[in-house]
Amino acid sequence: MQNYKKALFALALSAFCMGVTEFVMAGVLVDVEAYFSVDAKTAGYLTTLYAIGVVIGAPLITIPLSRFHRHTQLLINLGIFALANFIIFFSQNFYLTAFARFVAGTQHGVFFVIATLAV
């Protein structure tokens, strides 16, 4: 029972982190515009690409991952998500940041499919 509670806590914490990652961009768009020297519309693509990644990632990436055990699926998923956010954190190029946001979005969609099945 204790392991079940730990697993559920880890899934809840991961879901919270993904939600924050998705919506935090709306609060920092002005800073993103200044940092990358882009206009508001262009900076807004970071939010759009993340959302598109969620929609595309869920069906297209979940199927190839289904051959692995759920624990392995979650580790791969969260590893790619963390790597994408690591790239975003250190990126000084808008297009690299946009690509990494898209990749993070794909993993967000996959996570909710896997996490739903894991519980």
pLDDT digits (tens, 9 = 90+) for 52-83: 999 998 889 888 888 988 888 889 999 999 99
| Extended beta strands in 1-119, E state | none
Q: What is the pLDDT of residue 100?
A: 97
Among residues 106, 118, 110, the alpha carbon closest in space to that of 65 is found at 110
Residues in the chain: 119
Q: What is the pLDDT of residue 14?
A: 87
The ranges assigned to domains in the chain are 2-118
Q: What is the pLDDT of residue 119?
A: 67
Q: Amino acid letter at 25?
A: M
What residues in the chain have per-residue pLDDT under 50? none
Q: Amino acid letter at 34?
A: A
Q: What is the pLDDT of residue 116?
A: 80
Contact 46, 32 (CB under 8 A): yes
